[in-house]
Amino acid sequence: MAIDFEIPAEAKALRERVRKWVQDECVPAEKRLLDGADYKTVLGELRKKARAQGLWCPFIPKEHGGMGLGPLANALVQMELGESYLGALSMNTQGPDDATMLTLLEHGTPHQKEKFLKPLLNGEKRICYSMTEKAAGADATGMQTRAEKRGNDRYVLNGEKWFSSAASVADIALVMAKTDPDAPRHQQYSTFLVELPNPGYKIKRNIPTMALEGPLSHILGGGHAEIEITDLEVPAENLLGGEGRGFAMGQHRLAYGRLRHGMHNVAMAQRALDMATKHVTTRSTFGKKLDERQAVQFMLADCASELYIARLMLMHIAYKAENKLDLRQENGIAKVFLANMVHKVVDTAIQLHGALGYSRDLPLAAWYTHIRSQRLVDGPDEVHRWTTGRNVIKAYKATGTTAGACGGDLL
Ligand SMILES: Cc1cc2nc3c(=O)[nH]c(=O)nc-3n(C[C@H](O)[C@H](O)[C@H](O)COP(=O)(O)OP(=O)(O)OC[C@H]3O[C@@H](n4cnc5c(N)ncnc54)[C@H](O)[C@@H]3O)c2cc1C
pLDDT in tens, 162-175: 999 999 989 999 99
Q: Distance of CA 73 to CAs 113, 272, 278, Å?
A: 25, 24, 30
225 close to ligand 1 (CB < 6 Angstrom): no
Q: Which of 118, 58, 110 is nearest to 89 (CA)?
A: 58
Residues contacting residue 16 through CB under 8 Å, at least 6 positions apart: none
Angle, alpha carbons 221-226-227 (nearest 5°): 110
**pLDDT score of 255:** 60
Domain with CATH 2.40.110.10 in the chain: 127-243
| Residue 221: predicted pLDDT | 62
Name residues of the chain where pLDDT drops below 50.
Answer: none
Residue 184's contacts (CB-CB under 8 Å, 6 or more residues apart) are none
CB 303 within 8 A of CB 344: yes
DSSP result, 285-304: ETTEEGGG-HHHHHHHHHHH
Contact 352, 279 (CB under 8 A): yes
Q: How far is the CA of 234 from the centre of ligand 1 (A)?
A: 27
pTM value is: 0.92
CATH superfamily, region 127-243:
Butyryl-CoA Dehydrogenase, subunit A, domain 2 (2.40.110.10)
- CB distance 163 to ligand 1 below 6 Å: yes
Q: Is 382 in the pocket of ligand 1 (CB under 6 A)?
A: yes
Question: Is the shortest distance between the CB of 191 and ligand 1 below 6 Å?
Answer: no
Ligand 1 contacts CB of residue 131 (under 6 A): yes
The CATH fold of domain 248-410? Butyryl-CoA Dehydrogenase, subunit A; domain 3 (1.20.140)
Q: Is 200 exposed, middle or buried (0-12, 13-18, 19+ CB in 10 A)?
A: middle
List where CATH 1.20.140.10 sits in the chain.
248-410
Q: Return residue ranges of the chain for CATH 1.10.540.10.
A: 9-93
Q: What pLDDT, on a 0 to 100 scale, did the predictor assign at position 1?
A: 57
Question: 165 vs 201, 214, 377, CA distance in Å?
Answer: 14, 17, 11
Options 2.40.50.140, 3.40.190.10, 3.60.10.10, 1.10.540.10; CATH of 9-93: 1.10.540.10
Q: What is the largest CA-CA distance in the chain?
A: 80
Per-residue pLDDT, 212? 84
Tell me how far apart the alpha carbons of residues 66 and 92 are, in angstroms, rounded to a whole number: 10
Distance 178 CA to ligand 1 centre (A): 19
pLDDT of residue 404: 93
Does ligand 1 have an atom closer than 6 angstroms to the CB of 375? no
Angle between helices 71-81 and 246-282 (to 10 degrees): 50
Residue 201's contacts (CB-CB under 8 Å, 6 or more residues apart) are 173, 175, 194, 227, 229, 232
DSSP character string of 387-408 = HHHHHHHHHHHHHSSSGGGTTG
pLDDT in tens, 66-83: 999 998 999 999 999 988
- What is the overall mean pLDDT for the chain? 92
